[in-house]
Amino acid sequence: MNITKLFLSVSLCVFVGIETFSQNNSKDKIYETYDNIVGLDNTGLYNGTAFTDLFLNTDGTYRYFNGFDYVKGSVTYNGQYYVNVLLKYDLLEDNLLTQSDDNLSIFNVKLIPEFIESFSIYNHNFVRLKETGLGLSGNGFFEEAYLGNDLNLFIKHTKKKKDKALTTGIQYKFSKDNFYVLKSNGTYSLVSSARDLRKILPEKEQEIRQFYKSYKSLYKSNPDSFMTKLVKYLDGSETEKNKQ
């Protein structure tokens, strides 16, 4: 049976019973079952280019989001949703990676950025913002930190690399270099601090100043959490306001 006939046959079997199946299973479980039956090699997930990490000699830091190893996540790629697949997010070059096992060898695949609509990894949701008008470098992947009524906050996770010459060769060190993008009234704005927010939202200056005083220690220890809580507060979250 050729691959086209196999695909049509499997599709019919899966989707005829999808209504009954979905009564006891989540959407993710349905897609995972479908991918397992068809085989990921036949779904188009590995439509990308080979990736090789050239900076493995490090001081223990890494270029990836939250960890060095691949973890299970989900991605919408070239119009198709894949769940429970191995993913790794490269913050140095802003690329999403997956891993393929062809039964002979395992290789790393760099997914085509333009094909990626969104992905989820470590319980963090990312989206590709195509048109921010900010002229940013990279492939446009942002974490959806807060999606509210009037304000949306996106975190741009990035890492920068430093080289150190040793007698045994070059050692690399990676450090976070995150920044934020606020969407307000349909416009995207770069945000690096509470001061930037005061310029973007001058009508909320007093609220921003008061919040900063209350959460100054959080701003220093966890800027991502601070900015997310602040935008929630400014957007009118009663939960955040009641904490003041």
Q: What is the three-state SS of 115-175?
A: HEEEEEECCEEEEECCCCCCCCCCCCEEEEEEECCCEEEEEECCEEEEEEEECCEEEEEEE
**In a domain? residue 11:** no
User: Rounded CA gap, 47 and 201, in Å?
Assistant: 43
* pLDDT at residue number 44: 81
Percentage with pLDDT > 70 across the chain: 77
pLDDT confidence of 241, banded at 50, 70, 90? low
The yes-or-no verdict on residue 11 having pLDDT over 60 is no
Reported as type and span, the H/E element at residue 75 is strand 71-77
Q: In this predicted structure, what is the pLDDT of residue 1?
A: 41
Kindly state whether residues 45 and 56 are assigned to the same domain.
yes
Query: Is 49 part of any domain?
Result: yes
Instruction: Quote the pLDDT of residue 7.
Output: 42
Same domain, 55 and 119: yes
Give the mean pLDDT of 15-34.
Answer: 46
Residues 111 and 184 reside in one and the same domain: yes
pLDDT of residue 179: 94
- For 223, the 3-state DSSP assignment is helix
Question: Are 211 and 117 contained in the same domain?
Answer: no
CA angle at residue 159 from 158 to 162, to 5 degrees?
Answer: 155
In a domain, 127, yes or no: yes
**172 and 202 housed in the same domain:** no
Is there a domain that residue 47 lies in?
yes
Six-digit token pair at 210?
A: 């008061």
* Tokens standing for residue 200: 């973007």
Is 16 within a domain? no
Mean predicted confidence (pLDDT) in 74-80: 95
**What's the mean per-residue pLDDT of the chain?**
84
Cα 122 from chain centroid (whole Å): 9
Same domain, 83 and 123: yes
Based on the domain organization, do 44 and 145 belong to the same domain? yes
Whether 17 is covered by a domain: the verdict is: no
Q: Give the range of the structural domain holding residue 101, as residue numbers without chain letter.
A: 39-192
How many structural domains comprise the chain? 2
- How many Cβ atoms are within 10 Å of 168's Cβ, its own excluded? 7
Q: Is 107 helix (H, G, I), strand (E, B) or coil?
A: strand
Nearest in space to 51 (alpha carbons), one of 103, 125, 106? 106
CA Rg value for the chain: 22
Does residue 138 sit in the same domain as residue 212?
no
Query: Which amino acid is located at 90 in the chain?
Result: D
Between 10 and 214, name the one with better pLDDT: 214
Does residue 31 lie in a domain region?
no
pLDDT of residue 243: 61
Residue 71 and residue 186 in one domain: yes
Q: What is the pLDDT of residues 136-175, one digit of tens each?
A: 999 999 999 999 999 999 999 999 999 999 988 999 999 9
Q: What are phi and psi of 237, to 5 degrees?
A: -65, 115
- Please check whether residue 24 lies inside any domain of the structure: no
160 and 205, same domain (yes or no): no
Tell me the whole-structure pTM to 2 decimals.
0.80
Last residue of a domain, one of 192, 207, 230: 192
